[in-house]
Structure 1
Amino acid sequence: MNKVVQILALLGLLASLSACSNVIYRIDVPQGNYLEQKDIDKLRVDMTKEQVKFVLGSPVAENAFDNDTWHYFYSLKGGRGNNFEKQLIVEFKDNKLLDISGDFKKSEDFNTPLDI
């Protein structure tokens, strides 16, 4: 009978330890450039690369073969499995902002240069 109590106690202990794995804190792991729509709304066609860099920061990746395309990427790997990703592709021609694409919308003023 004493052996049965020990086995039950051991099983209870093992069950409580395995339940602890659900309460282990896992950190969120952010990577890349965190951008908000309000930052994207500041972009205007014909801005220089320096102006875009001032507004958005340096891109995560620049194409070594095409210096006129910049990639901004942000991902958040949540500790609880909730993942989040956003990207923005910025295209230039002759050192002037030509177009943007990706997970952000262009502002209504995007096609109005800053000089006007």
Structure 2
Amino acid sequence: MQKLTRIIALSAAVALMSGCVYKRDIPQGNLVNQTMVSQLQTGMSQQQVVSIMGRPLLEAPFDAREWDYVFQLDKAYGDIETRRATLTFDRQGRLADIQTEGEIDNSLPLEGDTELGPATDSSDDFQAQPLDLGVGTQSQ
């Protein structure tokens, strides 16, 4: 009887613990912020745009003159925040139009930024050390 009670208590504890799932914010796509968008000017070449914004997440399949930079932040305990910048180029490959959707600013409000996570070492004297695997080195 005592063994059965332990098994039931252990099963109940495991069932309760499985409900405590750690959730985190999941950023996806190209990070689009106000600093990047404010550097864009009409008349820029595609290469200049790539140097500021990076490669686009989406290029229109039939008309490569439209580039979409999409960023989504799937908040752990909330909604999905979407930022989008659509850049249109003329026939010569020069930036002709910039359209933005969502709140394009310089902040990235991740929920875990203010608290220590489960894998964080909070000691002040912790120093990360490079891991030497000996790959590519020869002993002499």
Length-normalised TM-score, structure 2: 0.59
Structure 2 equivalent of residue 102 of structure 1: 100
| Displacement after TM superposition at 1:65 (Å) | 0.6
Structure with higher strand content: 1
Alpha-carbon distance in 2 for matches of 1:41, 1:21: 46
Q: Which has the higher contact order (CA 8 A, sep 6+)?
A: 1
The DSSP-based 3-state class of the residue aligned with 1:53 is helix
Structure with higher helix content: 1
Asked whether 1:56 is paired with 2:53, we answer yes
Asked whether 1:42 is paired with 2:42, we answer no
Alpha-carbon distance in 2 for matches of 1:97, 1:104: 21
- Specify every segment of 5 or more residues in structure 1 that has no aligned partner in the other structure, as ranges: 106-116
Tell me whether 81-90 or 12-21 shows the greater mean CA deviation: 12-21
**1:60-96: CA deviation from partner (whole Å, max 9, x where unpaired):** 0111211110011111223x23322111100000311
Alpha-carbon distance in 2 for matches of 1:55, 1:63: 20
**Matches of residues 1-116 of structure 1 in structure 2 within 5 Å?**
16-78=13-75, 80-82=76-78, 83-94=80-91, 95-103=93-101
| Displacement after TM superposition at 1:35 (Å) | 1.4
Tell me whether 37-46 or 24-33 shows the greater mean CA deviation: 24-33
Length-normalised TM-score, structure 1: 0.69
- The count of residues paired between Structure 1 and Structure 2 equals 102
Alpha-carbon distance in 2 for matches of 1:28, 1:43: 29
Letter in 2 for 1:60: L
Given that 1:47 and 1:97 are in contact with CA atoms closer than 8 Å, whether structure 2 keeps it comes out as: yes
Given that 1:68 and 1:91 are in contact with CA atoms closer than 8 Å, whether structure 2 keeps it comes out as: yes
- Specify every segment of 5 or more residues in structure 2 that has no aligned partner in the other structure, as ranges: 104-140
Alpha-carbon distance in 2 for matches of 1:56, 1:104: 17
The DSSP-based 3-state class of the residue aligned with 1:46 is coil
Alpha-carbon distance in 2 for matches of 1:99, 1:59: 15
Given that 1:37 and 1:104 are in contact with CA atoms closer than 8 Å, whether structure 2 keeps it comes out as: no
* Percent pairwise identity: 26
- After superposition, the CA RMSD in angstroms is 2.6
